[in-house]
Amino acid sequence: MKSYLFALDLPELTEILTSWGEPGYRAAQIWQGLYQNLWDSPEAFTTLSKGLRGRLAEAFEFSHLQPVADRTSSDGETRKILFHLPDGQPIETVRMRYQKRRTLCISTQSGCAMGCLFCATGQMGFRRDLSSGEIVEQVIYFARRLKDQGERVTNIVIMGMGEPLHNYAAAMQAIRRLNHPEGMNLGARRFTLSTVGLPPRIRQLAREDMQINLAISLHAADDELREKIIPINRKYPIAEIMGAVREYARASKRRVTFEWALINQINDTPEQAAKLADLLGGMLAHVNLIPLNPTRGYARKASTRERAERFQEILQKRGVPCTIRLRRGIDIQAGCGQLASEQNGM
């Protein structure tokens, strides 16, 4: 069987090349071709001999991603692609264009085991973890297309399908590969990892030597409400999550973001805003309020603009920085798992 090239780190690739009798620097040339030149086939590696290119073709698979649906929003600012993996499982990747940034939202799993009621991916259930290479290749795929337009990837949000801390090893391997100075060389602070909150893994992340940004998908400020919409809260209540988050903030010296999907008359009340302000008191934090993305499996609606602004006002008066985010790509099912669910008739 062929090896998947994007699943290898540089030392592993070097070991393979030297076992073929090639000098070690050939691996660095291939690495540069993959991550800097963004070449997509053995034939593109013209810095290598014809014989070595042939051996690469025989030994390696250059892709696991097959695009099956490709949608661009009416304003052209958001593009979403649904991929199938070699075993037919679906994943999604989104490119968002901002004034100065080109941000990718990438997946770490097909489906998700967390079961958040309002999330289309959670409604799919868990399919499987992605390999580190399948996470990395989503970035490479869009990097190639941005390069054709004279642009480049500036930021990566690990917030697509799946819970990244539930696939911790592969997610971290992917980040390190994309951060590698001889590869894409994306700075650690250009990565944001979003999680519903798995305290053991957050503490493990605090011990890593990388200053990536952490985002917590909180969505409720007390256990009674959060357990109703985020089942994992029964295992990891808010106090335990916040203890781990504060440990991460101290270790990384990074501001932590809290994501809050505003659900009309559920978690957008003044009482929830006040409880959230209490929860974040004295912490370097920022709250992103995002009106709920509609899904077929959850009947509730997004908060009105008035309720969102009232929620924001309460937080800001208590000294908690807060932004109401625009929903991006609603017309193309850009929310996590929405396009995959639509394609599967869910």
Q: Which of 249, 235, 234 is nearest to 280 (CA)?
A: 249
98-124 b/e (C-beta count within 10 Å ≥ 16 → b): eeeebbbbbbbbbbbebbbbbbbbbbb
- Check if the beta carbon of residue 106 is closer than 8 Å to that of residue 171: no
Is 137 one of the catalytic residues? no
**Nearest C-alpha neighbor of 273 from the set 196, 323, 221:** 221
Tokens of 308: 């969102």
In the block, tokens 């908690």 appear at: 320
Q: Which of 105, 112, 116, 336 is catalytic?
A: 336
User: Which residues have a Cβ under 8 Å from the Cβ of 127 and sit 6 or more positions away?
Assistant: 89, 90, 109, 110, 111
Inter-residue contact 173 to 166 (CB < 8 Å): no
- Reply yes or no on whether 336 is catalytic: yes
CA dist., res. 68 & res. 341, Å (int):
13
Q: Which of 22, 92, 134, 259 is catalytic?
A: 92
At 195, is the secondary structure helix, strand, or coil? strand
The catalytic residue positions are 92, 336
